[in-house]
Chain A
Amino acid sequence: MKQWAQGADPHNIKPYGDTMGDGWVQMSFTLPVALCEEAREAAKKLAGKMGLSDVMVYHEADLGYGFSFFIIYGKCKYSVDFARIVCPKVLERKMTFDEINEFIKKQVGRPIRVIGACTGSDAHTVGIDAIMNMKGYAGEYGLERYEMFETKNLGSQVPNEKLLEEALAFKADAILVSQVVTQKDIHLSNLAELIDMVEAAGIREKVLMICGGPRITHEVALELGFDAGFGPGTTPTIVASYIAQEFAKRFGKHQIPKGKI
């Protein structure tokens, strides 16, 4: 639910420093010019073009070799209509470890199979490990620890082909992809390729496709054709809650004919 501070106008939201509507913003950047009076003026002008007024250069430093660094404060001229902003939500309700196990037992009736990997050339498994490994992250157990998740973590540098092959063999209900190293947006093409391959294999409708990483947002994930995306600060129970709820919604007991599972 959207909330705002007392005295704020939800149709005209701008940054707050110490007085409602003052618009104070801090930022810093480097310009490829040697430090001099004109360089400082250039920094101020640039801040003005970015929509700041009352621009003040709080700090400047000569980095050498024709570079100078500025820390700037200024008042933002613009505001946004907060009241009209609507974001797609990835998760309806965060549940606890026990609630999730219970929920899956009741709603699905069998463990959900989740396969995870760090794909492409990415060797940084911190993210996928935090979510999937027994030990988990931030005091929450990883998916491996849940009675009602059957998991397989393929680790780092897994080609998309291999992930798909393993997912098919594992009969995965959900595929979890982590992309940490991102330079020149390589992670986006990797992720898009995986979706194409999953579609080509004819299983797109049967699996939840989930991605995560420091540069991933739910919106980006949806654009790429994933079901959900998780950014920095995501803990295992957030992902577990999502998988449980979404899987139950799509393929839960009430959706499928009763039978021996």
Chain B
Amino acid sequence: MAHLDLDERQIERARKAAGNIADSVLRFAKEHSTVAIERAVLRLMGVEGADADGVPLPNRVVDVALKEGILGRGIALYFGNCLSKVGDPVETAKAIADKKIGLKEDFSDDRARDEAEKALKKGIARIRETVERRRALLEKLGDGGTRPLLYVIVATGNIFEDVVQAKVAARAGAQVVAIIRSTAQSLLDYVPEGITTTGYGGTYATQANFRVMRQALDEISFELGRYVRQCNYASGLCMPEMAVLGAFERLDVMLNDALYGILFRDINMQRTLIDQAFSRVVSAAGEIIINTGEDNYLTTADAVSAAHTVLASNFINEAIGKRCGLKDWQLGLGHAMQMNPMMEDMFLLEVAQAQMIRQIFKDCPIKYMPPTKYMTGNIFRGHVQDAMFGLASVITKQGIHLVGIMTEAMHTPHIHDRFLALEAQGMVMNMARHLGDEIEFKKGGIIERRAQEVLKKAMEMLEQIEKEGLFTALEQGRFANVRRSFTGGRGLEGVFKKEEGYFDAVEDLLLKSLEGQDETMGARG
């Protein structure tokens, strides 16, 4: 079986450093909350919908609390206080927004706390129901069984067109369908409402759109006799809310990576690392597989010399994820090396790194992606390129394979672009399904030495970051060659320090719901 001789002590040292980095990030996160987390708490408590102007009610309520200067103790308490008088969460939110009831009006701490817990437990029960439903469907239908799971994107801007594209893709072999969000949705500080048919470069992620797609994919799952997973984004300024909506509406996979938002969307690092900690707890409870965004670092940094930054970030994401309750099978760590396919022996380096990451995170469904950066208008060459990376992926037993599409550099995929890509990937993976079991890498050869070199550099990088902290590392541009400042970027104004008496039960309640959770299911390779 394919196996590289990697230094276990180095892996251990890297894990230890990443653990300390994660601890310090999470300590910081724990002391803070954000407007997005508070809105997510409201959604967990049953608030949904928007006012007449389309402003979501969670935003309206949090805005009221901000104005009154009482958000520091958490919205759950004050909302619980009002809920005890009105009864229904949506009506309560409306009453607060319309100033018919004041958040602090005859406030009783005990009653507020009781009421808040009751409402939260309802939300968590809703997540549990979703989890049970998924388990039942997977039990009944399976997911096709083959690994890696074939993952494709749809991005028409219109949820109903997306459904057509998704159905055809599923029939052609797709096992995960990701609905790409409308460009720049990550920078909206609210979640749009309702079914949408106009987006740019993608389709708005809304609760209603999640439902439309889930229903369509359930139909096709029964038709095909295998469960088709839906993927969207728990990222950007609404990361925690998207995680809650994903857990409610049975999203199976969600992209979730603070580092990606910091580096490529210029979202403030404090904001999004705090948001991430909360959203990962929600995803843990919702049995959602998260996908991390390391595969994008090397679009800006040099792919060959900076490969270790991807591995280093994988270690950090693993450490943070696990501390937030995520199981190995939920950690779809990002892996794409973005090396130039025109380089001699590049395939060897690719296999080296893919195998290395597979071995280091042996129970995680690595999310593997071909190098999108080197796709051009030459769709014929691109098709072959994608096929080669499919081969690397299946040899090294990746968990989730982002199917490259030959027109990638030019437009969002047309129906037959995706069909042809799936057909080719299916063929490549099928014909080489067990090749990995038969391969042994040459001792001390190019592949093994490359993996050892990348691991060593990743370990050294992590030990350096352990000393200086993740925030400083980001300020110094250690990832993706992009520098970001501690107080720069978008969304910092939404961060606040938790005050004495902050209602801290949300994460505890969520984590408690995890007890007895199945440790083995998922998309493991």
Contacts and interface: CB of A to CB of B under 8 A. Distances in A.
- Whether A and B are associated in the same complex: the answer reads yes
Given A64-B167, A67-B168, A232-B376, A123 B157 contact: no
A233 interface: yes
Given A65-B164, A123-B183, A156 B264 contact: yes
Interface of A: 28-30, 61, 63-65, 67, 69, 121-123, 125-126, 129, 133, 135, 155-157, 181-184, 186, 214-215, 232-233
B453 interface: no
Nearest to A63: B168
Contact of A156 (B266, B302, B411): B266
A133 B184 contact: no
A191 to B, nearest CB: 15
Contacts of A155: 266
A63 B170 CA distance: 10
B412 A30 contact: no
Given A232-B409, A233-B376, A157 B168 contact: no
Contact of A157 (B187, B373, B411): B187
A181 B264 contact: no
B416 A65 contact: no
Give the top 7 A-B pairs by smallest Cβ distance, nearest first.
Answer: A121-B184, A181-B201, A64-B171, A121-B183, A69-B416, A30-B416, A183-B200
A130 to B, nearest CB: 9
A29 B481 CA distance: 41
A30 B199 CA distance: 23
22 contacts: A30-B415, A63-B168, A63-B171, A63-B419, A64-B168, A67-B168, A67-B415, A121-B183, A121-B184, A123-B186, A123-B265, A125-B264, A126-B373, A129-B299, A129-B300, A135-B481, A156-B264, A156-B265, A183-B183, A214-B410, A215-B410, A233-B377
A29 B376 CA distance: 20
Contacts of A125: 264, 300
A182 B412 CA distance: 9
A184 B157 contact: yes
Contact of A123 (B264, B376, B411): B264
A232 B265 contact: no
A68 B440 CA distance: 43
Nearest to B172: A63
Contacts of B199: 183
B409 A214 contact: yes
A63 B266 contact: no
Q: Which of B373, B409, B415 has the most CB of A within 10 A?
A: B415
Interface in B388-438: 409-412, 414-416, 419, 423
A173 to B, nearest CB: 25
Interface string B157-196: 1000000100110011000000000011011000000000
A2 B494 CA distance: 60
Interface residues of B, number: 32
A181 B200 contact: yes
A228 B412 CA distance: 26
Contacts of B172: 63-64
Nearest to B419: A63
A29 B456 CA distance: 49
A116 to B, nearest CB: 14
Contacts of B416: 28-30, 63, 69
Contacts of B373: 126
A69 B416 CA distance: 7
Given A63-B168, A63-B419, A157-B265, A186 B200 contact: yes
Given A63-B171, A123-B183, A156-B265, 18 more contacts: A61-B419, A63-B416, A63-B419, A64-B168, A65-B171, A67-B415, A121-B201, A123-B265, A135-B302, A182-B201, A182-B411, A183-B200, A184-B200, A186-B200, A214-B377, A214-B409, A215-B410, A233-B376
B84 to A, nearest CB: 43
Contacts of A129: 299-300
A157 B419 CA distance: 32
Nearest to B182: A121
Nearest to B377: A232
A125 B183 CA distance: 13
A64 B481 CA distance: 45
A30 B299 CA distance: 32
Contacts of B186: 123
Nearest to B410: A214
Interface string B305-333: 00000000000000000000000000000
A181 B183 CA distance: 8
Contact of A65 (B157, B168, B299): B168
Contacts of B300: 125, 129, 133
